Amino acid sequence: MKNYLFIMRQPPHASGRVQETLDMILTAAAFDQQVGVLFCDDGVLQLASGQNPAAIGLKDTARIFTALEIYDVDALYAEAESLAARGLTAADLILPVRLVSRADVNQLMNRHQLLIPD
Amino acid sequence: MPPGFAAGSLPIRFSTLVFYLFMKFAVQLNSSPYAAVAGLDAYRFVLAAIQAGHQVLQVFFYREGVYHAFRYATPPDDEICIGRDWSALAERHGIDLLVCISAAQRRGLLCRDEAARQGKLDDDLAPGFRIAGLGQWLEAGLQADRCLVFG
């Protein structure tokens, strides 16, 4: 078993990237790997509540993140500075996250064997 | 004391030396030939790794990376054709070039079997590539000493 950290930096609904990232996350989880997800930069918007992508004909990818718990993916991290820069707090997100300060991101990455960018 | 150093034996056992000198790499490529230079970087990395004696378990073409695997990419003669280079690399060095099936199908890349299954006539997959799933991507990650993501 290995430790995976998926790093979400892209905003939702700007490209098809998130769907394919979620496929990797779910595969790693389905194969019983230890999976963490770090949301930073525009990636924190993936979890912002109140999204309505159906209005522009896109899939509600935030809902897929809520399904991660079923696969025992509950190590969700959000970078505090990225949230603050976008006027968000942890309370504005659809899922409970552990806040990580920018200074501690390096340490978080070092605790994982594989870093997979989105 | 580092592993391999044991009193009364050679300083470093040959198997330990091989372990340190040669690594197993898993490579993932996410971007298309013309959107970024990442594909060329990946190709050159794989070639350099093999030439240095390392093992490349697989190159996994994901996201826009699947565009490397189109059989009928036909750039002008004075430009590089990276798909052809990958095919040659697979033939010469036996590198396993895996194309993610869901990423490929989204982008209209169908191998002959899959096309036939869907009642289509495509035969898009270049020589040396094969269709695979994310399960194989994960397996390589577990076996590899290092995983590299390009693009």
CA of B151 vs chain A CAs: smallest distance (Å): 9
The ipTM estimated for the assembled molecules is 0.93
* Residue B11 pLDDT exceeds 90: no
Domain count along chain B: 1
Instruction: Kindly provide the residue ranges of all beta strands, DSSP E only, lying in chain A, ordered along the sequence.
Output: 3-8, 34-39, 75-79, 98-100, 114-117
Find the mean pLDDT for residues A80-101. Answer: 97
Find the mean pLDDT for residues B31-47. Answer: 96
The answer to whether B80 and B33 are in contact (CB under 8 A) is no
For residue B137, list chain A residues with Cβ-Cβ distance below 8 A. Answer: 24, 27
Note whether B62 contacts A20, CB cutoff 8 Å.
yes
CA of B48 vs chain A CAs: smallest distance (Å): 22
* Residue A52 pLDDT exceeds 60: yes
Residue A116 sits at the chain B interface (C-beta within 8 Å): yes
Q: State chain B's mean pLDDT as an integer.
A: 91
For B48-99, how does the pLDDT look when each residue is reduced to its tens digit (9 = 90+)? 999 999 999 999 999 999 999 999 999 999 999 999 999 999 999 999 999 9
Q: What is the reported pLDDT for A118?
A: 92
Nearest to B134 among A2, A4, A27 (CB): A27
Non-local (6+) Cβ contacts of B39 within 8 A are: B29, B31, B32, B33, B65, B68, B82, B150, B151
CB pairs under 8 A between A and B: 29
By mean pLDDT, which of A7-11, A104-108, B3-7, B120-124 is the weakest? B3-7
Residue A3 sits at the chain B interface (C-beta within 8 Å): no
**How would residue B5 be classed by pLDDT, with cut points 50, 70 and 90?**
very low
Nearest to B147 among A16, A31, A114 (CB): A114
**Alpha helices, DSSP H, located in B52-133:** 82-93, 101-106, 112-117
Residue A20 sits at the chain B interface (C-beta within 8 Å): yes
Taking the domains of chain A in order of start, what are their residue ranges?
A: 3-117
Find the mean pLDDT for residues B94-120. Answer: 95
Smallest CA–CA distance from A3 into chain B, residue: B142
State the best of B66, B147, B148 to mutate against chain A, taking most chain A CBs within 10 Å: B147
B89 is a domain residue: yes
Closest by CA position to A98, among listed A78, A118, A115: A78
Find the mean pLDDT for residues B123-131. Answer: 97
For residue B147, list chain A residues with Cβ-Cβ distance below 8 A. Answer: 114, 116
B120 is a domain residue: yes
CATH number at residue B89: 3.40.1260.10
- The reply to whether B100 belongs to the active site is yes
* Residue B7 pLDDT exceeds 70: no
CA distance B39 to B27: 11
B56 is a domain residue: yes
Q: What is the reported pLDDT for A74?
A: 85
Q: What is the reported pLDDT for B97?
A: 98
Q: What is the reported pLDDT for B145?
A: 95
* Residue B1 pLDDT exceeds 50: no
For the domain spanning A3-117, the CATH number is 3.40.1260.10
Share of chain B above pLDDT 70, in %: 87
Q: What is the reported pLDDT for B6?
A: 47
CA of B90 vs chain A CAs: smallest distance (Å): 25
B109 is a domain residue: yes
Q: State chain A's mean pLDDT as an integer.
A: 95
Q: Give me the domain span that covers residue B71.
A: 23-150
Note whether B135 contacts A16, CB cutoff 8 Å.
no
CA of B31 vs chain A CAs: smallest distance (Å): 11
For residue B106, list chain A residues with Cβ-Cβ distance below 8 A. Answer: 16
